[in-house]
Amino acid sequence: MSVTEVYCRSCGERIKADAEICPNCGVRNQAHQGAQPARGGGRRRGAGGQQRAQGGAATQRSPPSDSWVYGVGVGTALWVIVAILQLRAMSAVQGIQGGGSPLAAGGQALTSLLVGGPIQLIAWVVLPIAFYYDSKYVAYATDWNPSTGLFVGIAALAPILSSLVGMVAMVAMGIQGMFVGSILVPLVVAGLAAYYLKRRYDLVPSE
């Protein structure tokens, strides 16, 4: 039997595979029925594959933004301001202990603390977020992959570290030691951010 022929399921005679009905008994040819959906299904799968390929090309990820570096700069400046305000508050407390005017020194200390609190809160929010997203751009544009655990972690934990250092220093220095952590930790965070910015500008080509 030729490969283009099949047996009729009714009368058993050989008929052409592409015949719609058996010429001997008139029964519909199952082989002809099965071939049509298969060809149609093949075309549908091909079209679907083409659509998926086009969709994949259209959803390519865009490069990270390079604008987060401004957030790093702002966060760095805010932490420096926090350190300066805390230093003023500590100087005011020292003035009170040294016999200065309690009213004037107390007002200076209170002002520094009230202004420094909101600034520290903003710096605490801005710098870790800016570090996180800008480090993605740096890793994309250069061979340096900044450690998010180092930069983001220290910036995010700065208030906690400041409190811990202050409590330890207060044991040795009294009330003035409370300000040590509030001054030292912000300066460390600002120094770390300055190092990050310096290396970033050395590696990222200017446009």
Q: What is the pLDDT of residues 158-181, one digit of tens each?
A: 989 988 888 888 887 777 777 788
| Inter-residue contact 93 to 87 (CB < 8 Å) | no
Average pLDDT, the chain: 79
Please identify every stretch of the chain with a pLDDT value under 70, giving residue numbers as ranges: 1-3, 26-27, 29-60, 95-106, 108-109, 206-207
What is the pLDDT at residue 99? Answer: 62
What is the pLDDT at residue 97? Answer: 63
Cα-based distances in Å from 173 to 83, 126, 167, 181, 201: 18, 32, 10, 12, 40
What is the pLDDT at residue 44? Answer: 41
**Which residue spans within the chain are E strands per DSSP?**
5-7, 14-16
* Gap between the Cα atoms of 109 and 5, Å rounded: 102
What is the pLDDT at residue 57? Answer: 44
Could you read off the pLDDT of 34-58 as tens digits, one per residue? 555 444 444 444 444 444 445 444 4
* Gap between the Cα atoms of 21 and 37, Å rounded: 17
> What pTM was estimated for this model as a whole?
0.65
